[in-house]
Amino acid sequence: MPARVRKAVFPVAGLGTRFLPATKAMPKEMLTVVDRPLIQHVVDEARDAGIEHFVFVTGRNKGIIEDHFDRALELEATLAARGKTAELEALMRDLPEAGRASFVRQQEPLGLGHAVWCARDIIGNEPFALILPDVLVQTPGKSCTAQLIDVYNERGGNIIAVEPVPDDQVKNYGVVAVGEPDGNVFPITGMVEKPAPGTEPSNLTILGRYILQPEIFDFLSAQEKGTGGEIQVTDSMLALLKKQPFYAVEYEGRAFDCGSKPGFLAANIAYALDRPDLRDAVIDEIQKLI
């Protein structure tokens, strides 16, 4: 039985320039999908998968994220005094237990690989989940991270969520090369970041959900820059692939790229339609608009 995955890393240091001016003073991770911030949605996903410790890699002007996962004593007292029991219980339910959230600063925007490396001392010698808050995954059952952990518990190694995309879009993503599938699980034989058209090893793109072994930090410590002049986690995964197995999991569900405006708006509609208290009213409003 492989070591249990207890910790998750959330890189939240990005500037969110594609959502300016909304993100001038507010972190993009605090933009709301329906009534929950993006970062809360992915923490919910991690908690559903059994994650116990949440590691946020932050940057400047991200203190509001830390505040969001802390007690708000004045607000709690006001809700209690006004008899708003349901709202108070919802706030308390979303809070990590004391000591279950850690915040570490990424001083420079040097890429995803560098953000992961910044969490090395908190993760220690344990496997961990890496969850990108820009991507929300709506699933019919278990969360995407829970699906990965199920495969990890069976096979060990390193696990990456993938999804197929149209051939003309592959150039925009990290892509895996794979061997023969076993159901929805593929052994990974290679990876490439944003391949040139015509060089794609497959149409299976890396989604933004990973289970990684702690040896990844040995390669990230080299601080070597790759595509875009940034420290890419893909480069370190390729190096680790020579020593440890990697598996791609074609997850069950639908992903929304909330780093783009169309993806963010689509996520709001999809998540609202999934709410019994909102569905009919949202359908009515959409019908009026179209």
- pLDDT (tens digit per residue) in 1-54: 788 999 999 999 888 888 889 888 889 999 999 999 999 999 999 999 999 999
Residue with tokens 């005094």: 81
What are 53's strand-pairing partners? 7
pLDDT, one tens digit per residue, over 162-177 is 999 988 888 888 899 9
pLDDT band at 227 (very low <50, low <70, confident <90, very high): low
Calculate the CA 165 to chain-centre distance: 19
- What does residue 82 show for φ and ψ, rounded to 5 degrees? -90, 5
CB atoms within 10 A of CB 74: 8
Most confident of 226-230, 232-236, 264-268: 264-268
CB 167 within 8 A of CB 48: no
CB 145 within 8 A of CB 49: yes
Query: What value does the mean pLDDT take over residues 131-144?
Result: 95
Three-class secondary structure of residue 53 per DSSP: strand
- For position 232, what pLDDT does the model report? 82
Name residues whose C-beta falls within 8 Å of residue 66's C-beta, 6 or more positions apart in sequence. 56, 58, 103
Q: From 3.90.550.10, 3.20.190.10, 2.60.15.10, 3.40.50.2000, which CATH number describes the 7-289 domain?
A: 3.90.550.10
The span from the CA of 288 to the CA of 106, in Å, is 45
Q: How confident is the model at residue 226 (pLDDT cuts 50, 70, 90)?
A: low
Which residues contact residue 132 at a Cβ distance below 8 angstroms, ignoring those fewer than 6 apart? 10, 11, 42, 112, 208, 209
For residues 7 and 127, give the distance between their C-alpha atoms in angstroms, rounded to a whole number.
8
Q: β-pairing, 101-105 with 7-11?
A: unpaired
92 vs 22: CA distance, rounded Å: 27
Of 122, 91, 99, 100, the closest CA to residue 47 belongs to 100
